[in-house]
Amino acid sequence: MLTKELEKAFEPAAAEKRLYDYWVKNNYFHAQDKSDAPAFSIVIPPPNVTGMLHMGHALNNTLQDVIIRFKRMQGCNTLWMPGMDHAGIATQNVVEQELKKEGISRHDLGREKFLARVWQWKEKYGGVIINQLKRLGCSCDWERERFTMDEGLSQAVREVFVRLYNEGMIYQGDYIVNWCPRCHTAISDLEVEFKQDQSFLWNIRYPYADGDGEIVVATTRPETMLGDTAVAVHPEDPRYKDKIGKMVILPLMNKKIPVIADDYVTMDFGSGAVKITPGSDPNDFAMARRHNLEIISIMDGHGIINEHGGSYKGQERYEARRNVVADLEKEGYLVGIEPYGHNVGQCYRCKTDIEPMVSKQWFVKIKPLAKQAMNAVTKKKTRIVPATWEATYFDWMTNIRDWCISRQLWWGHRIPVWYCDGCGKVIVATIDPDVCPDCGGASLRQDEDVLDTWFSSSLWPFSTLGWPKRTKALKTFYPTSLLITGFDILFFWVARMMMMGIYVMKDVPFHDVYLHALVRDEKGEKMSKSKGNIIDPILMIDQYGTDAFRFTLAAYTAQGRDVRMSPERIEGYKFFVNKIWNAAKLTLGSLADFDPEAPCDAPDSLPEKWIKARLNKAITDVIAALDEYRFNDATAAIYHFIWHEYCDWYLEVSKPALYGKVGPEQKSVTQRTMKEVFGIMLQLLHPFMPFVTEELWQALHLHNSDENSIMVSAFPTAQAAWDDQAAVEEMEMLMEIITSVRNIRGEMRISPSQKLKVLISVADEQGKKAIEAGCDYIVNLANLESLAVDVNLAEPEGVATGVVGPTRIYVPLAGIVDIASEKARLEKELAKVDKDLEHSSRKLANHDFLEKAAPEVIAKEEGKLKSFQEKFAALETALKKISGISL
RNA sequence: GGGCGGGUAGCUCAGCUGGAAGAGCGCCACGCUUACACCGUGGAUGUCACAGGUUCGAGCCCUGUCCCGCCUACCA
C-alpha cells in the first residue's frame, strides 16, 4: 500500500512551504458565515503594519493556532480572524523618517500628499508580518483579512464616534493632557511610561508682597515657575494659617500671586508649601479649577518657552531650567538644592519626556462604560484566565479617568466633526456633510485631529465581522469565543474592547480571555534591541523548524509564568520531531505488507491493550489541558506518551512480532494497532506541530475519509473500550521486571551483550501464568538467554536479586561478576527501603493518624507498609545469603 | 505608597481541592541491539527562601521576615 519511503530526516523548510500552500489551496482555513456546526472564533490581536515578527507575536499566535486547530478538528465552524493595525504614531514616524532622508517634512508635502505616501509605504513594506505568521503555520482565514484603516472599519469608527457623541459620551474641552513635544501630539494616560530619574529638588523663596518675610517652595521643575499662579498650603497648617489669602511675589516674573489653601498639600513634605503651575502639572490644573486660578501655558508644542515666559521666550525647556536656576541664584531666591529621585513620564513611543499641557482635546466619558465592563466580568459573561488578572482589571477600571482620544497626527481616522465657518455650528456625522444644516453655508472645516489608534482597535471584535452592517458572520461569530493576548495590553486593548463591545453590541466581545506572559531571554531579561538579546523567531524557524519552535513555546507556557526562551530548548524539541520521524519510519516500514482491507479478527494481546489504555489517558489529558488553556500540561502529556510509552515500550516490545518472529496473526494485530495508535498520536500532536504531523499523516496514508488532511480530521476522543486497568497493571508489572533486570545489569556493569539466565519466583499460579505469558517480552527486552518461572522458588546460590512486588528476580552471577558488588548494590537498595519502611510504620503507629485520617488514606498507607516490609525482607534474605557465600 | 507573581535537583520549570517531591536539559557509567548516537540502558542529586502557627499529617493553608520580578500611584 505504501509507495515511497521516508527521507532520512524531516526537512522542515521544504515541507512547511508545500504543506501550507496545500492547506490554503484546499481552503481549510476558511470559516463558514453560516453553518450547523458550533461556531468558534478568535480575533487576532492585530499586529502593527510596521511590525516584524518578534517572540511575543510568535508566542501569542502559536497559542491561538493551537486552540484554533484543536477546535477545528473537534468539528467547530472555526474562525480565526486576521488583520493588522494602522498604528498611528508608529507608522507616521516611519514615513516621516523616510521623508527626512529626502530632506523634507510632512508639512512640506501637506496632509493629503503625506497620507498618499503612507498608503504607498503600507502597500509596499507593510504587512511583512503577515507572511511571517504564515511561516509560523497560522491557520487564519486569510480571505477575511482586515486593516483598521479599511473602508468598512473606518465606517465603524465613525458610526461609534457619532453614537457616543449623540449620547453625550464624547466631549471636547481644554484640559491638561500628556503632550509629547517630539511627536507633537497628546497621548493618553496609558501611553505614558514612568521612569526613575535622579534629579534635584530646588528650594525657592517667594517673598510676601507686603514685605513681611517669605515662603519657601520646593520643585523638581524650576522652569515651570514662570507659569505659577498661586502657592498652596494645607488649610490646617499652623505655620501658614494666617498667611492664606496673602500675596507673594513670583521671582523673575515680578508678579503677585495668592497663597491659597487646599488639602491636597502634604504638610510634612518640604516646607509644606507648594507652587502651583496649572499649565504644566495635572494636579495643579485640578487645583486651579477648584480655586478659579489663572491657567497659563508657558510652552508651545515643541517644548519651547513662549511669550508667557517673559525673557525666557524661545528657550528650550531644559535650557530654560538652567537659566531660571542661575537667575534665581544670582538674585538670591535660591535657598538650596538637594538630590532627589522621582519619576518622570516619557512618551512610550519615543521616550521623550512628557510635557503636561493644556489643550483642546476630545474625551470619552469612561466611567459608565467601565462600570458595565466590570459587571460583565463579575457576572462571568467574560472569564479572565488566569483569574489573578481579574483583580488588576477591576482595579484599573475602578480608578479609570476619561480617555483622551484625539491625536494631533495625520495618519489615522480623522475625527468626524466639522465646523461651519458661517454660523459656527458643530456638525458630527457619519457621512461627510456638504453644507451646514443650520445656515446652509458650504464653508465647512473638518476637525484636524485623528483618533487614538486604540479607538479603532477597541471595535475590532465586531468591526472585522462587518459591523455596522448586520452580516451573517457577525451573527455567527459575535461574541467571539476566546481572545488570546499578552497581559501587557490588558488595559490598552482588552479593557477597551470590553467597554466598546458592551456599549455598541450590547454583549461582551468574547467569552474567555487568556492572558499569557512575556517572552524573555534565558536570563529572564526582557528582550530589547538596545540590550541586543533579541532572539529572532524566523531565525529559530529556519534553524530548528516551525514545529519544534511552536512546541517549545507551548511547552513553556505555564499559566502566569514568563517564558524564558533559549535556543537549546528548541533544539531539544527538534530532537523530539526527529524521534517521531524515526518512529514513523519504523511504522511505515512495518506496514509495507499490511493490508488494511483484510479483516483481522484476532484479539489484542497485552501490549496492544496496554498502549491503547495509555493512549486513552493521553487523549483525556490533552483535551482537559487544552480546555483549560494549560498548554504546558498538554505538551507534556503528548511528549511523554509518544517518547516514553509508544517508542520506548510499545515499539520495542512489538519488534519481534513485526519481524515475523511471533507469527502472522500477531503481526497483523501489531500492524493494526500501530497504524491506529500512531494516527491518533499525530492527531493529538497536530495543533502543536502542524507540519510534521501532516507530512506523516499523508505519507502513512492514515486518513480514512475523502479528506486527506489531518487538519480537518476529527480530533481523537477517549474510547471506553480501551480502558483496561488489569492490562495496564499486568503490562507494567512486566515492565518493572524488565527494568529490574536492566538495573542489575547496569549497576553490576554487566555488558549489554552478555545474555543472562534468569530465574523468577512468583507467589502463586496466577502470577506464574502472567509471567509466562509475558516471557518473550522479558527475554527480548532484558536480553536473556533463558527465563525460568516457578512458584515460591528457593533462592539459588550466587545470584543478584531483584524485587518487584511479590515477585523475585534472580540473576545468577557465576562467572559474570564478583559477589562484592552485588552486596553493595543490595545494601544500597536496602537502605532506601528501610527509610520508606520506617516512615510508613511510624505513621501507622500514630493513634491520631489512625483516628483522624480518612479510611482510604490509611488503607493506602497499610498497603505501602506491607510492600515495603516484603521488599525489605526479600532484600535482607538475599543479602544474608550472599554474605554467607562470600565468607 | 498600594497591588500582583515568584523564591522546589547544577539549569529551566511542573506539582489540581493538604497524605513525606516530579519532568526536560545537564551530569556520571555502559552500549554503534537492522526507526532514531538528533539514540538506547542504567545511575546520582533536593533541611521545597527563612521563622513561627493550624493539622494526626504542609511544598501546598495562616502570620511575619528576607530577597527577585512586574504592574500601578498626584507627595511638589
Residue A237 belongs to domain with CATH number = 3.90.740.10
Say how far A523 CA is from B31 C1', in Å. Answer: 36
* Nucleotide in closest CA–C1' contact with A571: B38
CA distances from A856 to A726, A840, A859, A860 (A): 21, 15, 5, 6
The residue type found at A560 is: G
- Nucleotide nearest A389, from its CA to each C1': B4
- Nearest nucleotide, CA A283 to C1': B74
Q: How far apart are CA A6 and CA A622, in angstroms?
A: 28
Query: Given a cut of 90, is residue A195 above it in pLDDT?
Result: no
* Backbone φ and ψ of A175, nearest 5°: -140, 165
Of the candidates A848, A871, A873, A868, the residue with the CA atom closest to the CA atom of residue A858: A848
| Spatial distance between the Cα atoms of A442 and A445, rounded to a whole number of angstroms | 9
From the CA of A878, how many Å to the C1' of B46? Answer: 31
Q: Name the residue type at position A597.
A: E
Q: Could you tell me if A216 and A339 lie in one domain?
A: yes
Domain end position, chosen among A334, A356, A378: A356
* Secondary structure class of A430 (helix, strand, coil): coil
b/e per residue A464-476 (b: at least 16 CB within 10 A): bbbbbeebebbeb
Give the residue nearest to nucleotide B11 (CA to C1'): A522
Q: Which nucleotide minimizes the distance between its C1' and the CA of A556?
A: B13
Please give the Cα distance from A800 to A749 (Å, whole number): 12
Note the pLDDT of residue A1: 40
Place of cell 481579574: A390
CA→C1' distance for A793 and B65 (Å): 61
Length of chain A: 887
Nucleotide closest to A740 measured between CA and C1': B42
Integer distance in angstroms from CA A397 to C1' B71?
A: 14
Query: What is the grid cell recorded at A361?
Result: 482635546
Query: What are the angstrom distances between the C-alpha of A337 and each of A150, A203, A272, A757?
Result: 55, 6, 16, 90
Q: What is the pLDDT of residue A704?
A: 63
The rounded distance, in Å, linking the Cα atoms of A80 and A133 is: 13
Grid cell, residue A334, equals 535660591
Question: If pLDDT is split at 50, 70 and 90, which confidence band does A412 have?
Answer: very high
**Residue A418, C-beta contacts closer than 8 angstroms, at least 6 positions apart:** A426, A427, A428, A429, A432, A433, A444, A445, A446, A447
Which residue in A19, A86, A119, A722 sits closest to A455, CA to CA? A86
C-alpha dist (Å) from residue A286 to A243, A264, A327, A679: 22, 10, 29, 67
pLDDT (tens digit per residue) in A542-572 = 999 999 999 999 988 876 677 888 888 899 9
- Same domain, yes or no: A601 and A700: yes
pLDDT at A45 over 90: yes
Residues A315 and A200 in one domain: yes
Residue the block writes with cell 516471557: A775
CA of A58 and C1' of B70: distance in angstroms? 21
Closest residue (Cα, C1') to B43: A747
Does residue A4 register a pLDDT over 60? no
Segment A760-793, tens digit of pLDDT: 999 999 999 999 999 999 999 999 999 999 999 9
Are A264 and A292 within 8 A, CB to CB? no
Q: Residues A154, A190: one domain? A: no
A608 & A698 share domain = yes
- Pick the closest to residue A592 from A478, A710, A674, A679 (CA basis): A674
Last residue of a domain, one of A689, A719, A749: A719
Residues A139 and A197 in one domain: no
- A115: confidence class by pLDDT, cuts 50, 70, 90: very high
Summarised one tens digit per residue, pLDDT across range A494-544 is: 999 999 999 999 999 999 999 988 887 766 667 777 677 788 899 999 999
C-alpha A233: how far from chain center: 48
Is the pLDDT higher at A166 or at A853?
Answer: A166
Do A123 and A141 belong together in one domain? Answer: yes
Instruction: Give me the mean pLDDT over the A221-237 stretch.
Output: 91
Average pLDDT, chain A: 90
Mark which of A322, A337, A356 sits at the end of a domain. Answer: A356
**One domain for residues A221 and A269:** yes
Nearest residue (Cα to C1') for B31?
A752
Residue A173 lies in a domain: no
Do A572 and A630 have their domain in common? yes
Residue A599 pLDDT > 80: no
Whether A37 and A712 have beta carbons less than 8 Å apart is answered as no
Question: Can you tell me which residue has its alpha carbon closest to the C1' of nucleotide B23?
Answer: A636
Q: Which nucleotide is nearest to A196 (CA to C1')?
A: B73
What is the pLDDT, as a whole number, of residue A511? 95
A634 CA to B16 C1' in angstroms comes to 14
Query: How confident is residue A706, by pLDDT bands cut at 50, 70 and 90?
Result: low
* Cα–Cα distance list, A390 to A373, A376, A490, A501, A657 (Å): 12, 11, 10, 18, 56
Contact assessment for residue A133 and residue A64, using Cβ atoms and an 8 Å cutoff: no
Scanning every strand, the nucleotide with its C1' closest to A284's CA turns out to be B74
**Nearest Cα to A282, choosing from A186, A410, A200, A380?**
A186
Residue nearest to nucleotide B42 (CA to C1'): A746
Most confident of A67-71, A206-210, A802-806: A67-71
Are A584 and A678 within 8 A, CB to CB?
yes
Task: Using a pLDDT cut of 90, give the percent of chain A over it.
Answer: 59
DSSP states along A307-333: GGGGGGTT-BHHHHHHHHHHHHHHTT-
For residue A687, the domain's CATH number is 1.10.730.10
Q: Where are the beta strands (DSSP E) in A377-453?
A: 383-385, 403-404, 406-407, 417-420, 426-428, 444-446, 450-451
A302: left (phi over 0), alpha (psi -120 to 50) or beta: alpha
So what's the pLDDT on residue A882? 82
**What was the pLDDT predicted at A887?**
42
What residue has cell string 508644542?
A: A301
Residue A52: pLDDT band (50, 70, 90) is confident
User: What tens digit of pLDDT does each residue of A868-884 get?
Assistant: 888 898 888 888 888 87
Q: What is the mean pLDDT of residues A396-407?
A: 90
Domain membership of residue A434 (yes or no) is no
Which nucleotide shows the minimum CA-to-C1' distance to residue A643?
Answer: B36
For A391 and B11, how far is CA from C1' in angstroms?
Answer: 33
Through-space separation of residue A740 CA and nucleotide B16 C1' in angstroms: 32
| A832 CA vs B34 C1’ separation (Å) | 40
Q: What is the DSSP letter of A793?
A: P
The answer, yes or no, to whether residue A3 has pLDDT greater than 60, is no
Secondary element (H or E) of residue A258? strand A255-261
CB atoms within 10 A of CB A384: 23
Which pairing describes strands A334-347 and A192-207: parallel, antiparallel, or unpaired?
Answer: antiparallel
d(Cα A257, Cα A413) in Å, to the nearest integer? Answer: 43
- Asked if residue A731 and residue A659 are part of one domain, the reply reads no
Q: How far is the CA of A382 from the C1' of B42 (A)?
A: 51
Contact A757, A812 (CB under 8 A): yes
Domain enclosing residue A887, as ranges: 818-887
Task: Tell me the CA–C1' distance in angstroms for A46 and B2.
Answer: 33
Strand-pair partners of A457: none
Separation between Cα atoms, residue A804 and residue A806, nearest integer Å:
6
Residue A860, domain member (yes or no): yes
Q: Which residue in A280, A282, A222, A273 sits closest to A252, CA to CA?
A: A222
Residues A710 and A735 in one domain: no
Distance A560 CA to B69 C1' (A): 13
Within 8 A by CB and 6+ apart from A777, the residues are: A607, A653, A734, A738
Let me know if A495 is exposed, middle or buried by CB neighbors in 10 A (0-12, 13-18, 19+).
buried
Residue range A640-685, pLDDT digits in tens:
999 999 999 999 999 999 888 888 888 889 989 999 999 999 999 9
Cα–Cα distance measured from residue A743 to residue A756, given in angstroms and rounded to the nearest whole number: 13
Is A430 inside any structural domain?
Answer: no
CA angle A790, A792, A797 (to 5 degrees): 90
Q: Per the structure, how many domains does chain A have?
A: 5
> Does residue A542 lie in a domain region?
no
What is the reported pLDDT for A559?
66
pLDDT for position A438: 87
- Residues 6+ away with beta carbon under 8 Å from A553: A58, A59, A62, A63, A519, A563, A565
Report the run of H or E that residue A540 belongs to, with start and end. Answer: helix A537-544
Residue closest to sugar C1' of B37 by CA: A575
Dump pLDDT digits (tens) for A709-758: 999 999 999 999 999 999 999 999 999 999 999 999 988 888 888 899 99
Residue A296 in domain: yes
CA A462 – CA A474 distance, rounded (Å): 7
CATH assignment of the domain containing A873: 1.10.287.380
Is A303 a domain residue? Answer: yes
Residues in contact with A103: Cβ distance below 8 Å, sequence separation at least 6, in sequence order: none
Q: Is the peptide bond before A468 cis (omega within 30 degrees of 0)?
A: yes
Alpha-helix residue ranges (DSSP H) falling in A700-818 = 725-747, 765-773, 775-781
For residues A294 and A201, membership in a common domain is answered with: yes
Task: Select from A689, A626, A561, A847 the least CA-distant residue to A10.
Answer: A689
Residue A168: what residue type?
G
A129 or A5: whose pLDDT is higher?
A129
Q: How far apart are the first and last CA of chain A?
A: 65
Within a domain: A411: no
Q: Which nucleotides of B are covered by protein (CB under 7 A)?
A: 3-6, 12-15, 19-20, 23-25, 29-36, 38-44, 55-57, 69-76
